[in-house]
Structure 1
Amino acid sequence: MRLVGCSLIFFGLVMASLVPAHADDNHSGVVTNLVIRSGNDWTGSPLPNYLSSTPEVAVLRFTIPPQTALPIHQHPAINVAYVMDGELTVFQEGGIQRTFKKGEVVIEMVEKWHHGMNQGSVPVELVVFYATTKDLPLAIRKPQP
């Protein structure tokens, strides 16, 4: 038990010494901008509690051609998309929609049916970050009637 306590103190000291390096005025040229931090999805609904099993991170890059709609789907885990280029309109089943432009972030809905569409004339480039668990699908397509 004493070893665990000492290890935690050592870890805390190491982490405390690392944190200022990113915000240190002595490193010219390093700029940090918070793009988004929220406990809500893009509709304003609260995100669910984080998964209770061992986490796994997945990162995907998407290219969506102009005038292309993704299939209706839902996500079983929290994920966010950074719009690298173009404009993506996201539609929640039932009528709510919002358009995200280059440089904006889409905090996706969890376990709610929705889809995205590129209604523009240039490809949409997204990088999507998933906070998931091993063997959990990143998306589930809505079954066709």
Structure 2
Amino acid sequence: MKTKLVLSIIAMTCLLSSNAIAGSNTVAVKTLTKTSQSWDGTPLPAYPQGKPEITLLDIHIPAGTELPLHLHPVINAGVVLSGELHVTKQTGEQLILKSGEPIVELVNQWHKGKAVGKEDVRIIVFYAGEQGKDITVKKH
């Protein structure tokens, strides 16, 4: 049941950013990603056993802004709607994302993001979490 709910929400998120033609009666669905690994190849963990809580965020990062080092203890995925985002692991490994590109984020790995270039970054991110638990933890 959890898997069906998660897949339904991901499909709805993809529809929000799909390339349906304005004024057309045709619905277009484009699979942006389908994987069981994060962007660095690490296998995704099992879903939490507690009460599921879905969070869908529309994140705006001003151009030139670098996010603090953080991790996500839950599975999450997103789509960059505008701008260019560089995601960097503590090891220095980096992923460069541009408008329209998806990301399956790292789970339980420290990383940071930076809005590179002159355009602000806007990214929609879906988190499959557990009620009462954090979806992001900042490193102090």
- When normalised by structure 2's length, the TM-score is 0.80
| 1:32-43 paired onto structure 2 within 5 Å | 32-43=29-40
1:45, distance to aligned residue in structure 2 (A): 1.0
**Aligned residue number for residue 120 of structure 1:** 117
Alignment pair present for 1:104 and 2:139: no
3-state DSSP class of the match of 2:127?
A: strand
Alignment pair present for 1:70 and 2:70: no
> What percent identity do the matched residue pairs reach?
36
**Aligned residue number for residue 81 of structure 1:** 78
1:33, distance to aligned residue in structure 2 (A): 1.2
More helix by share: 1
Larger Rg: 1
1:49, distance to aligned residue in structure 2 (A): 1.2
CA deviations over 1:1-35 (Å, ceiling 9, x no partner): xxxxxxxxxxxxxxxxxxxxxxxxxxx50222111
Q: Distance in 2 between matches of 1:127 and 1:77?
A: 16
Equivalent pairs, count = 116
Unmatched tracts of structure 1, length 5 or more: 1-27
**Aligned residue number for residue 136 of structure 1:** 133
- When normalised by structure 1's length, the TM-score is 0.77
3-state DSSP class of the match of 2:55?
A: strand
1:51, distance to aligned residue in structure 2 (A): 1.1
Retained in 1: the 8 A contact 2:83–2:116? no
1:102, distance to aligned residue in structure 2 (A): 0.7
| 1:9-28 paired onto structure 2 within 5 Å | none
Alignment pair present for 1:44 and 2:41: yes
Unmatched tracts of structure 2, length 5 or more: 1-24
1:53, distance to aligned residue in structure 2 (A): 1.4
Counterpart amino acid of residue 90 in structure 1? V
Q: Distance in 2 between matches of 1:30 and 1:62?
A: 26
3-state DSSP class of the match of 2:80?
A: strand
**Aligned residue number for residue 55 of structure 1:** 52
| Runs of 4+ that moved beyond 4 A | none
Q: Distance in 1 between matches of 2:106 and 2:27?
A: 32
